[in-house]
Chain A
């Protein structure tokens, strides 16, 4: 299948086991929430999925391409929003996006058209020439999401993209990304520790201490129990 496939992933920092036999598949067009408390291994997993780290054991396929064997083909199909902002705050929104486009080999008229289309999709077109430093946290995040769409990826990876945002901005961004799965057919892996960002219709993976504790449809998994309680019960019991 295309989308995202992770098989038997293990990763250690010295003696500390950060990921232990993590396996899951995310189908094309699916919104998958990776829910886990701080230190669960989400950021390590994201670093492996983006090839900032290489796998010690296991296999990752992004949009059908093996990340270890054909990393360039896989990375060309993956869009990433990191937990920490990666905007150059002294450049304008437009220049940040054109820099990114160039890193993917896109330039000239094509880059301009894609940048403007991505900004319009995120309601940021009127801020194209503002300095990134002058944007609020929510708009910076929207800029980063717009940026990761420029090379038309089929898989989006977002590592706690709403950290530090107010409730309205968080809602707007989660809505935008959910829309991308339904309108563009993008595969989304959304890492978070905030259970209110997950909808019942979403696929839910609960990661704790480097292992997957639950994997399935969120509504089906939690049943009548509110998701925060379900999550706390699950992670508390195994702690």
Chain B
């Protein structure tokens, strides 16, 4: 067991060191949701009326509604960043070092997942601190309760990144991930608008949003920020995480995965 924890510590430390070296990544991770919060939310505050739906018990302004979605956005982008760094590691060769370790491959990939989630949590808490300075605060207990929600969302979206990285053969192909994964996942979710609003526009789009695992990750975070649990969303997020992790392990299996197909 000690060997497993030793590897987990080393992989997390390496990812953290890599993250601190990439200051631009940290700034971008914060600027992106802040632009949405300060510019986008300000513009829509007047235009978008929000009825009282759980977990909210009173009318809220749009900028309050959007914060959990922006937390999800940070986790989503970090999951994809982790995927990008895995593809980079494979192209640069350092992935070989990981895959030739005598520890089980599922554990090594899980370590990468945990490391990515730790970084996501740090980014989200930094964002929540800035949002608090901006005047958007949550119940004190919510700041604690959101941690397991972020871990759940981080693991699910990190697993998505892992699964994607096993199918992306070159770094150059990563732009496709932005267009075909990140943007649809983000916009077809409850991050920016509640699902009932989407249903008013299109039943089909509403159904797609309801199936989107990112919607459920956002709802888990939203409820947790008010110290509540949305068990349905948590269950769907767990299920999506398990399926995506299974796909990632399949992709990195030496007998079937990308490494072998590429030669």
- Chain A positions near chain B (C-beta within 8 angstroms): 13, 18, 44, 47, 50-54, 71-73, 75-76, 78, 80, 82, 84-88, 90-91, 95, 98-107
Contact = CB atoms under 8 A, between A and B. Distances in A.
A85 to B, nearest CB: 6
B100 A98 contact: no
B96 A52 contact: yes
Most buried by A among B3, B14, B100: B100
Contacts, number: 88
Contact of B254 (A18, A54, A86): A54
Contact of A103 (B101, B254, B260): B101
Contacts of B260: 53-54
Nearest to B104: A72
Contacts of B17: 90-91, 95
B14 to A, nearest CB: 6
B93 interface: yes
Contacts of B100: 50-52, 75, 78, 80
Interface of B: 2-4, 6-7, 9-11, 13-14, 17-18, 21, 92-94, 96-104, 108, 254-255, 259-260, 263
Contact of B99 (A18, A44, A52, A78): A52
23 contacts: A18-B263, A52-B254, A53-B259, A53-B260, A54-B255, A75-B102, A82-B96, A84-B93, A85-B93, A86-B93, A86-B94, A86-B96, A86-B97, A88-B14, A98-B10, A102-B11, A103-B10, A103-B11, A104-B102, A105-B102, A106-B6, A107-B9, A107-B10
Contacts of B101: 75, 103-104
Contact of B2 (A78, A99, A105): A105
Contact of B98 (A53, A73, A103, A107): A103
A53 B252 CA distance: 10
A50 B259 CA distance: 13
A54 B77 CA distance: 33
Contact of A100 (B2, B3, B13, B97): B97
A86 B101 CA distance: 13
A75 B100 CA distance: 7
Nearest to A83: B93
A105 B103 contact: yes
B91 to A, nearest CB: 9
Nearest to B94: A86
B10 A102 contact: yes
B96 A50 contact: yes
Given A54-B255, A91-B14, A102 B9 contact: yes
A84 B17 CA distance: 23
A82 B102 contact: no
A120 B224 CA distance: 53
A172 B259 CA distance: 33
Contacts of A18: 263
A105 B6 contact: yes
Query: 7 tightest A-B contacts by CB?
Result: A105-B3, A102-B10, A84-B93, A103-B101, A76-B102, A75-B102, A54-B255
Nearest to B91: A84
Contacts of A88: 14, 18, 94
A100 B97 CA distance: 8
